[in-house]
Amino acid sequence: MQTVQPIRDKHQIEMMKTALLNTSYRNYFLLVMGLNTGLRISDLLPLRVQDVRGKSHIVMKETKTRKNKRFLINIELRNIISDYTIELSDEDYLFPSKKTDLPLKRVQAYKVLSQAASNVGIEDFGTHSMRKTFGFWHYTINKNVALLQDIFNHSSPDITLRYIGINQDIVDKSLEHFSL
């Protein structure tokens, strides 16, 4: 399995959004939802319009942990959801497959997102990069590992910091000018 990284450069995030928006609003919306909620791809793909339209929170049972989760939808994301779902029915999947009546499969989501990442020069990208990017920027802005640990349902702060790549950044920085 490939080790993926968060996107640490906001300019690259914007470039990826633009690349996806130019090809498919659904794919752009998938990235925006992933970056702004920190949900796993396995929790994003089965979402239906009724789960998010007109709502202030996403309420769900996480696929991996089977734990209940209630997650705030920020105002900017609520506006994007409103625009995206305006002509959709409540029962419609947010990320429908173009070939079936089912939601997009994880493999297809990976292909779409990783191709866009590659096109804009982002390396080590996978579907989990959206969740890691959310975590990286949440920590960078708030500096509260305990809060992020709770959001991610991790068992320790060390796991959270390692997960979002902060530990590796700290190690790299400490070694950059270290020489004997």
Looking at residue 129, what is its pLDDT?
97
Kindly name the residue from 28, 40, 53, 139 that is annotated as catalytic: 40
Q: What is the CATH number of domain 10-175?
A: 1.10.443.10
Question: Is residue 17 annotated as part of the catalytic site, yes or no?
Answer: no
pLDDT category of residue 1 using cuts at 50, 70 and 90: low
Kindly name the residue from 48, 53, 131, 138 that is annotated as catalytic: 131
pLDDT tens, residue by residue, 45-94: 999 999 999 999 999 998 888 888 899 999 999 999 999 999 999 999 99
For 122-129, the CB contacts below 8 A with 24+ separation are 122/7, 122/12, 122/16, 123/5, 124/2, 124/3, 124/4, 124/5, 125/4, 125/5, 125/7, 126/2, 126/4, 127/34, 127/41, 128/4, 128/40, 128/41, 129/4, 129/5, 129/6, 129/7
Looking at residue 11, what is its pLDDT?
97
The model's pTM is 0.92
Question: Is residue 154 annotated as part of the catalytic site, yes or no?
Answer: yes
pLDDT tens, residue by residue, 9-31: 999 999 999 999 999 999 999 99
Whether the per-residue pLDDT at 167 is higher than 90: the answer is no
pLDDT tens, residue by residue, 91-122: 999 999 999 889 999 999 999 999 999 999 99
Question: Is residue 99 annotated as part of the catalytic site, yes or no?
Answer: no
Kindly name the residue from 11, 64, 143, 177 that is annotated as catalytic: 64
Question: Is residue 131 annotated as part of the catalytic site, yes or no?
Answer: yes
Kindly name the residue from 78, 105, 106, 154 that is annotated as catalytic: 154
Question: Is residue 78 annotated as part of the catalytic site, yes or no?
Answer: no
